[in-house]
Structure 1
Amino acid sequence: MSSAKEKVESMLRKLPDDCTVEDIQYHLYVLGKVRQGLQVADTEGVLQQAEVEGLLNKWLIE
């Protein structure tokens, strides 16, 4: 497993040379949110497509 530093270095290599500090902050934010979502999915499980569609239909109609 890559360390956090290695993941950040990899992300920085993929960004264009003229990126701003705000661009880097945004990509770090997204990377953190994706990691958090994957951890939640591992611990709490996920919903099946049909379940999500049912919930959306209920929420959108009400």
Structure 2
Amino acid sequence: MLQAKQEVQQLLNQLPESVSFDDIQYHIYVRQKIKRGIEDVESGNTISEEEFDKRMSRWLEP
């Protein structure tokens, strides 16, 4: 697994030269969230679809 600095360097190399600081921060944030999600799945830290639906219904119902 790459170190954080190496991942950011690779990301910067993929972005266009005209990228803004806000765009860079956004891309780093998204990568971090995706990485955390993958780690959760690999460690079994997930919930079932039924549990998801149950939790979301509490938020969506008046």
**Which TM-score band (shorter chain)?**
0.5 to 0.7
Task: Give the letter aligned to residue 8 of structure 2.
Answer: V
Q: How many residues align?
A: 61
For structure 1, the 5+ residue unaligned runs are 48-62
> 5 Å matches for 1:1-62?
1-39=1-39, 41=40, 42-44=42-44
Q: Name which structure has the greater RCO, CA cutoff 8 Å, separation 6+.
A: 1
TM-score, normalised on structure 1?
A: 0.67
CA deviations over 1:12-54 (Å, ceiling 9, x no partner)? 0000000000000000010000011011x4112667xxxxxxx
Identity of aligned residues (%): 35
TM-score, normalised on structure 2?
A: 0.67
Query: Runs of 4+ in structure 1 displaced over 3 angstroms?
Result: none
2:58 matched residue in structure 1: none
For structure 2, the 5+ residue unaligned runs are 48-62
Distance 1:22 1:7 in 2: 18
